[in-house]
Structure 1
Amino acid sequence: MSVEHRSLRFESIQQAMAEAERLASIDVRTTGQFSLGQILEHLARTLDIVTGRLSGPPVSGPMRMAARLLRPFVLRKASTGFKLPAKAQGILWPSEPVSTDQGLAHLRDSYEHFRAPAELPDHPIFGRMTRAQHDALQCRHFEGHLGFVHEAETPPAS
């Protein structure tokens, strides 16, 4: 059984953040296994890892090499549905409930930090990336996760 997912396309990280803000301001329902607060917290944690504020999960050499080969595809299209290793899951996703307000507050702070430097450190998985590539990667990441968040009055697809 497939999970309902909205098709989103953000042309800028600002658009992605605006959609996160919009969803946090209305009644929503989520499909998949996480609440909106947990999704926002996850997006914040990944921004924190990219900027070096939080240590990411360990990544093996072969995984890093494969990721760098796949980077052009990942920058073009959001992917969903893959299972993270347990260590990565524990770092990237909250195991406890997170309110929408808490998740949004953390995301706002992490977003401002992400936007601040002219140059970001090498990505822990994809290596050296330009600012435009970092922004595109985050757009795809936001698309993938915010696609599981729907306006509450929107009936589920049958």
Structure 2
Amino acid sequence: MATEHRTLRFESIDAAMAEAERLAAAETRTTGQFSLGQIFEHLARTFEVVLGERTMPPSPLPMRILSRLIRPLVLRKAQTGFKLPSKAQNVLWPSEAVSVEDGLQHLREACEKFKTTDPLPRHVFFGNMTRAQHDALQCRHFEGHLGFVHPVA
């Protein structure tokens, strides 16, 4: 059985953050493995990896080559269900509970640094990318994860 997922599309980081703020202010339920606070924390940690503030374990050469080939697809459409290697999982996802407030505050801070850093460092997985490609990647990333968060009617 497939996990329930909302289809989202963000054209800017600001639109993605507006949805995060909206979800934080509402009663929600999640249909993936993580709470809303953990999702916010994950999105914040991902910004920190992009900024070079958090270190990822090195990817094997075949994975680095594959990543350059699939980059155009990833920039166009949110991908879900991708299982990270355990060392990467430990860097990018919290193992502990994270409150919505704490996760959102961390996400706000990391997002602001991302938006004001220019130029951005070479992406650890996808290599050299333009600002527009970085922004599109983050939008797709938000779409994938926030799609598992459902406002309770």
Task: Provide TM-score, normalisation by structure 1.
Answer: 0.95
State the identity as a percent.
67
1:156 corresponds in structure 2 to: none
1:81 corresponds in structure 2 to: 81
Between the aligned partners of 2:106 and 2:59, the Cα distance in structure 1 is: 25
**Deviations, residues 107-133 of structure 1 (Å, cap 9, x unaligned):** 000001100122100000000000000
SS at match of 2:29: strand
SS at match of 1:9: coil
2:71 corresponds in structure 1 to: 71
**Deviations, residues 69-117 of structure 1 (Å, cap 9, x unaligned):** 1100000000101211111111110000000001001000000110012
* Matched residue type, 2:145: H
SS at match of 1:29: strand
2:128 corresponds in structure 1 to: 128
* Matched residue type, 2:23: L
2:31 corresponds in structure 1 to: 31
1:107 corresponds in structure 2 to: 107
- 1:7-18 superposed matches below 5 A: 7-18=7-18
SS at match of 1:150: strand
Q: Which stretches of structure 1, 4 residues or more, deviate above 4 A after TM superposition?
A: none
Between the aligned partners of 2:63 and 2:72, the Cα distance in structure 1 is: 15
Which sections of structure 1, spanning at least 5 residues, go unmatched? 154-158
1:97 corresponds in structure 2 to: 97
Please state how far the C-alpha of 1:58 moved relative to its aligned partner.
2.1
Between the aligned partners of 1:82 and 1:67, the Cα distance in structure 2 is: 13
Which sections of structure 2, spanning at least 5 residues, go unmatched? none
Task: Provide TM-score, normalisation by structure 2.
Answer: 0.98
* Matched residue type, 1:36: L
Please state how far the C-alpha of 1:32 moved relative to its aligned partner.
1.0
State yes or no: 1:40 paired with 2:68: no
Between the aligned partners of 1:56 and 1:152, the Cα distance in structure 2 is: 35
Between the aligned partners of 1:56 and 1:106, the Cα distance in structure 2 is: 19
C-alpha root-mean-square deviation of aligned residues, in Å? 0.7
* Matched residue type, 1:112: E
Between the aligned partners of 1:76 and 1:82, the Cα distance in structure 2 is: 16
1:137 corresponds in structure 2 to: 137
1:150 corresponds in structure 2 to: 150
Please state how far the C-alpha of 1:59 moved relative to its aligned partner.
1.1
SS at match of 1:121: coil
